[in-house]
Amino acid sequence: MTELTLKNLRKVFERGTPNVKVALDGVSLDVERGDFITVLGSNGAGKSTLFNAILGKFRLDQGRIVLDGEDITRQRDYRRALNIGCLYQDPMRGTAPHMTIEENLALAYTRKASRSFFAVNRRDSAKFRDLLRELDLGLEDRLKTRMGLLSGGQRQAASLLMATIAEPKLLLLDEHTAALDPATAEKVLDLTKRIVAQRRLTCLMITHNMHQALEMGNRTIVMDAGKIVLDVSGEERARLTVQGLLDRFRADAGRDLDNDRMLLQA
Ligand SMILES: Nc1ncnc2c1ncn2[C@@H]1O[C@H](COP(=O)(O)OP(=O)(O)OP(=O)(O)O)[C@@H](O)[C@H]1O
Ligand SMILES: [Mg+2]
| Domains of the chain listed by start with CATH number | 1-84+212-222 (3.40.50.300), 87-168 (3.40.50.300)
Give the per-residue pLDDT at 119.
Answer: 67
Q: Best mutation site among 48, 60, 205, 222 for ligand 1, i.e. most ligand atoms within 8 A of its Cβ?
A: 48
33 to each of 14, 15, 69, 202, how far by Cα in Å? 35, 35, 11, 6
On the question of pLDDT at 262 being above 50, the answer is: no
Spatial neighbors of 70 by CB under 8 A, at least 6 apart, are none
- 65-75 average pLDDT score: 98
pTM: 0.93
On the question of pLDDT at 260 being above 50, the answer is: no
Give the per-residue pLDDT at 215.
Answer: 95
- 194-218 average pLDDT score: 95
Cα–Cα distance measured from residue 187 to residue 137, given in angstroms and rounded to the nearest whole number: 10
Cα–Cα distance measured from residue 105 to residue 135, given in angstroms and rounded to the nearest whole number: 14
On the question of pLDDT at 125 being above 90, the answer is: no
Give the per-residue pLDDT at 88.
Answer: 94
Q: How far is the CA of 241 from the centre of ligand 1 (A)?
A: 28
Question: Is any atom of ligand 1 closer than 6 Å to the C-beta of 217?
Answer: no
On the question of pLDDT at 165 being above 80, the answer is: yes
Measured from the Cα of 223, ligand 1's closest atom is 21
Please, which pLDDT band fits residue 52 given cuts at 50, 70 and 90?
A: very high
Cα–Cα distance measured from residue 152 to residue 178, given in angstroms and rounded to the nearest whole number: 11
Instruction: Enumerate helices (H) and strands (E) in the chain, giving the number of each.
Output: 9, 10
Cα–Cα distance measured from residue 64 to residue 28, given in angstroms and rounded to the nearest whole number: 9
On the question of pLDDT at 115 being above 80, the answer is: no
**Count of Cβ atoms closer than 10 Å to residue 233 Cβ:** 16
On the question of pLDDT at 257 being above 90, the answer is: no
Task: Return the percentage of the chain with pLDDT > 70, whole number.
Answer: 93
Determine which of 46-50, 99-103, 117-121 has the lowest per-residue pLDDT on average: 117-121
Determine which of 11-25, 104-118, 143-157 has the lowest per-residue pLDDT on average: 104-118
167: DSSP letter:
-
Spatial CA neighbour of 31 closest among 76, 72, 65: 65
Q: How far is the CA of 222 from the centre of ligand 2 (A)?
A: 13
- 43-52 average pLDDT score: 96
Q: How far is the CA of 124 from the centre of ligand 1 (A)?
A: 39
Please, which pLDDT band fits residue 92 given cuts at 50, 70 and 90?
A: confident
Cα–Cα distance measured from residue 174 to residue 90, given in angstroms and rounded to the nearest whole number: 10
